[in-house]
Amino acid sequence: MIDGSIKKQKNRSVGVTVLGWVFILQGWIAVGYYSDIGILAWIFVVLFACIGIGMLKLLRSAYIGALLLSGFFLVLSLINFFNILFTSDYYPLLAMPIVGLLTSGILIFFLTRKGIRKQFDKNNNKKTK
């Protein structure tokens, strides 16, 4: 049987560990947006926490979820960028979608590296007894 405790994952890199904790922290930051987006904030709390804990446990589903979520935010940032570019005369607003594009792009680049993918593949290929 695979022990799913977070402390027992010896083959997890420092980058994946930091990324898992960043996802958990980002989930709790979403609580602050409850007054603006309502119940959607709690959905983000649960989603980010599950992905973060799954990343710490090297679960393949968390890896796929992080990639999908990063891709989703990349597309939203791109839409926001072009919306501000073509409909607004106030160009300093472009900084926010540019930061979103950069962080999502860097996250996707980090997650698609060969060594990171192998960490999540290795954990799924363990045999259960």
CA distance 106 to 111: 9
Predicted confidence (pLDDT) per residue in 8-45, tens digit: 556 788 888 888 898 898 888 877 766 666 777 788 88
- Quickly count: other Cβ atoms within 10 Å of residue 6's Cβ: 13
- Confidence at residue 129, expressed as pLDDT on a 0 to 100 scale: 44
Q: Where are the domains of the chain?
A: 11-124
Per-residue b or e along 10-27, where b marks 16 or more CB atoms closer than 10 Å to that residue's CB: eebeeebeebbeebbebb
CA atoms within 13 Å, Cβ hemisphere of 47 = 16
Predicted confidence (pLDDT) per residue in 51-102, tens digit: 999 999 989 999 999 999 999 989 999 999 998 888 877 777 888 889 889 9
108-112, 115-119, 123-127: which has the minimum mean pLDDT?
Answer: 123-127
Residue type at 109? F
In the numeric block, which tokens belong to residue 64? 């796929």
